[in-house]
Amino acid sequence: MMIAFPKRSIFLLTVLAGVAWACQQPASKTNSDLQLSPEFINEQLDDAVAQIKILADSVPADRMPRTFQGDTSVFSNTGWWTSGFYPGSLLYLYEYSGEEELLQLAKDKLRILEKEQHNKGTHDLGFMLYCSFGNALRLTGDTAAYKEILLTGAESLISRYNPTVKAIRSWEGWTYPVIIDNMMNLEFLTQASKLSGNPRYREIAVTHANTTIENHYRPDYSSYHVIDYDPTDGSIVGKKTAQGAFDESAWARGQAWGLYGYVMMYRETGDEVYLDFAKHIASFILNHPNMPDDGVPYWDFDAPDLGEDSPYASAYKTYRDASTASILASALIELSTQTEEDEYLAQAEKILLSLSSPSYKAEIGTNGGFLLKHSVGSIPHGSEIDVPLTYADYYYIEALMRYRRLLEGRSSVTR
């Protein structure tokens, strides 16, 4: 699939004093379009506040919560890719509740996370720094505390960019691997340009997004997980998976990362190419014959069809992934505000209803303090299978907050 991109100039970026980190969004849905009640949304957020306080009681001062397996809490250091989600969740729930206790808990974790601004050994700085410090800056307006951390982190991230490949390197090893998850770094870069007035961050985000369209996607708008490049000439060495069922399969969370990323890129650039592409990705996901009726995908869209020759056929083919569903719900809520189509909002509402049901949402005081059950980290690695995950909770809370803003007649996204 080849897509021709028109030449376009990078907009001049102006930062007004005290108003950094803000963007506009198309008009919100009217309340008559919304099928979930304020009472329902607030009930889920109230439960999230109660549950995260239980989680907070178990988290060591120098660690971040990661999962809960076999009645055992699992924590990470700040260098692990999920380290920004817990403070980000605390900040969203502070935004909802106004409880200063949650803000203080977040600030305590931001202090130990701060050093990751200098980490050039990972591509996951969008998750680690933007979900945490980005939300902190948005909610507190404290540029003195957070601006330089974010901009230093953005510099660390773009140190991994290769202008020949026209993409940000994801991992070490391989040759020059770029994974679809990397689309989730691009909001960090677009916002860094707004915060600094330096267009380079945004230019790299746009270039990376265009390269990903060119090389990651199949004709049916499903995405490969990993594209491995030759960094000397930008040619493709291989199209692979690391977490999917097989190289040509549609690893579910990867499809959600891509949808979220292109919905965001349309918001940030106004380029219709991104909106059209997001709609195609959404169609692949929502119309897939293996999408369950409740809107919570299997860990790989091809998993139910695995033959007996697959190592994942008997034991793993039916596992669902609540983390994918959470990301999809958040992305679809925003996509619904960018189009006139009603399907996206209806699908997001279905997912939120499913995730908020006892089938996926834990009772308060159980599940190690995590909100959602039944997520999948990486089946090929035998890691975090059918467990709660910190990022599943983060995007579930984000989706609830986005929906709540629509109920209030506001933009679903505030930046």
The answer to whether the beta carbons of residues 135 and 113 sit under 8 Å apart is no
Q: State the helix-helix crossing angle for 143-158 and 200-216, rounded to 10 degrees.
A: 50
Q: DSSP readout, 3-59?
A: -PPPP-PPPP----TT--S----PPPPPGGG--S-HHHHHHHHHHHHHHHHHHHTTS
d(CA 314, CA 338): 41
> If 0-12 CB within 10 Å is exposed, 13-18 middle and 19+ buried, where does residue 386 land?
middle
Task: Give the catalytic positions in this structure.
Answer: 124, 181
Task: Look at the chain and count its residues.
Answer: 415
Q: Give phi and psi for 217, each to the nearest 5.
A: -105, 140
The answer to whether the beta carbons of residues 81 and 128 sit under 8 Å apart is yes
Residue 257's nearest CA partner among 215, 292, 212 is 212
Q: In the chain, how long is the greatest CA-to-CA distance? A: 61
Structure tokens at 287: 């119309």
